[in-house]
Amino acid sequence: MEPLLKQSRSLCPFLKKTAPSTLRALSTSSSPSAGGGTMSNLQIVAKRCPVMSKALAVQSVRSASFGRRAASVSSIQKRNIVVPSKAVNFNTSNPAHAQAADLEDIHRKVGVFDSANPDKPVCPHGQAAMHAAKLAGKLTPVNGARVTRPSKVFEKVQCTAKFDYEGFYQNEIDKKHADKSYRYFNNINRLAKDFPQAHLDTPDKLVTAWCSNDYLGMGRNPEVLKAMHETLDMYGAGAGGTRNISGHNKHAIELEASLAKLHSKDAALVFSSCFVANDATLATLGSKMPDCVFLSDSLNHSSMIQGIRHSGAKKMVFKHNDVADLEAKLASLPLHVPKIIAFESVYSMCGSIGPIEEIQDLAEKYGALTFLDEVHAVGMYGPHGAGVAEHLDWEAHAAGKPKGTIMDRIDIITGTLGKAYGCVGGYIAGSARFVDTIRSLAPGFIFTTSLPPATMAGATAAIEYQYANSADRIKQQEHVAIVKDALEKRDFPVIPNPSHIVPVLVGNAALARKASDMLLENHGIYVQAINYPTVPKGQERLRITPTPGHTRPFREQLYAALEDVWTTLELKRTSDWALEGGLCGVGVPEAKPEPIWTPEQLAGGSAKKAEEVVMKTGRSVEKTILEKEMGVASGVVA
């Protein structure tokens, strides 16, 4: 059908304006016709077109006059000429037949020839009729029967049995195994009293978790646990329903108030997860705003990709953190068209930081909304833990003056309660009208059971604790600096970035899996392998996330274990990647960016202490920090 459509669209308005999928749908459904029987919906619609209607009439007359299986045709007809070489008996009282006869006669007299004689002129109207007639002939139901065309898969074989669902499942799983992207799940049971340790299937099998997103150890924070215990005892396990039925309570109100305060926004709204928050919010905005266009960073999280897809709105993908590419795409759109720029602050698999201020400047210039995902940054950056947007204006937020800051200018901020805050759930924050719109329209919020009261109480306690205390995130950043420095000195291929993520490049799915298994089985260290589709094929890695609890003994164990694994599996080191031209910044000269946390910020705002941390003669950052190591922060021994 597609070749005919391509040939006919330039001449036939009906075909030009109708999508192939619509034509297929019309051709495979039918309705009762005026003369009895049924007629495909394509024929019914096509009769309104001046070209298609006449073409269908011509096709109908031919079918009636010559039959579908004529035993003989003239030599001219064999050459695929549109009109028959001999006149057709058009003596009929049917107006459509008479009209077809006139059309046939006109084109026969003018001369409609096939491609074998290209020097002859061709009537454009007749040419369109020719293609339309061929198309109509292919799509016309035989004998007026109702037609449902099977897919090509089922046209090849005769179906004699029911669909094999279990076989389908097995085939999909086999494909995941074949391309080495099958996901394995380890039985890891984190121990609150022994953080960052966990046990496997039995309590005696201890391992050290090095890839948890509980970045600050807040999952075992005494104040968080106390709030959850008290709430659980008083209010029970569950919320009792969705927010609009029985799940709206003081815990939700207090949590959303804390989140709004954290981000200096009018309001906030809590969801069951940030995946749901991103999906529901983007899908709702994109489907409700007329002609909305999304501009999405190429490394955006699946939740944002899914939300944009569910919205049905148009999407333009810009290169990762490339503001020039983003501006070119923004400039191509009319100013009045609603636009939403969706991006992240910390990209969790590579550790890169989004150019938040530059993107916000472009958004204001071209009339776009900004949708900033701070999932891997909340609790981790800024004087109050609000994320990278707050961190960029440290002094202003530390002084309690958020007005006009980068975070204040961002339209929509999303975050999670399940990573640095150690609980579960997600949220959005923004203007009161925006939040009320999502609260009123988003199915992902309206029809989802509310988080349990104890969970919301624990999350509120975690947010308030980190709002007032920065010791955990400072300690975490210090440990990140130590680990990155130590791994780089040992030639391990750490993907350079300015954040708290420590991605170690492997570059092969099977080897990444083997490395993860060896660490767990031989060394009691749990680091999950990251493979496709989370990262592109060929960029598989181990993702290490130091916490305040990963003290020197744990770190020394990690270095020795990685040395054994890299040597045994003959994995590439940074120097090896450099010989190949580098990958993901590994082995690339001058690719190492400065950490987002400055020495002064790590020293609590004291320039003198900052100098002591990084500039003492003959002392490295690692050695200076190690000397401070027996301090205590939020119940976690450093």
Query: Which two structure tokens, joined as six digits, stand for 17?
Result: 């304006």
616 is catalytic: no
In angstroms, rounded to a whole number, what is the distance separating the alpha carbons of residues 509 and 537? 8
Q: Give all strands (DSSP E) within 436-484, no chain letters.
A: none
Query: Do 283 and 311 form a contact (C-beta atoms < 8 A)?
Result: yes
Identity of the residue numbered 433? R
Give the end-to-end CA distance of the chain in Å, rounded to a whole number: 69
Cα 538 to its chain centre, rounded Å, is: 20
Crossing angle for the helix pair 95-110 and 124-139, nearest 10 degrees?
Answer: 130
Cα 102 to its chain centre, rounded Å, is: 58
Segment holding 189, helix H or strand E: strand 189-190
Find out whether the peptide bond into 533 is cis, omega within 30 degrees of 0: yes
Query: Which two structure tokens, joined as six digits, stand for 260?
Result: 């709004």
Cβ-based burial of 77 (10 A; exposed 0-12, middle 13-18, buried ≥19): middle
Crossing angle for the helix pair 302-311 and 274-288, nearest 10 degrees?
Answer: 30
Mark 275-302 as b/e (b = at least 16 C-beta within 10 Å). bbbbbbbbbbbbeebeebbbbbbebbbe
In angstroms, rounded to a whole number, what is the distance separating the alpha carbons of residues 166 and 501? 40
In angstroms, rounded to a whole number, what is the distance separating the alpha carbons of residues 566 and 559? 11
Residue tagged active-site, from 329, 339, 419, 572? 419
Distances (CA, A) of 443 to 259, 311, 493, 520, 619: 22, 12, 44, 41, 57
Q: Identify any residues that bridge with 413 across adjacent strands, giving them in sequence order.
A: 372, 429
Query: Do 350 and 584 form a contact (C-beta atoms < 8 A)?
Result: yes
Question: DSSP of 473-526, one letter per residue?
Answer: HHHHHHHHHHHHHHHHHTT--BPP-SSS-EEEE---HHHHHHHHHHHHHHH-EE
Q: How many CB atoms lie within 10 A of CB 134?
A: 17
* DSSP alpha helix (H) spans, 271-387: 274-288, 302-311, 323-331, 356-366
Cα dihedral sign for 105, 108, 111, 115? positive
Match 């309104």 to its residue by tokens: 48
Residues catalogued as catalytic: 419
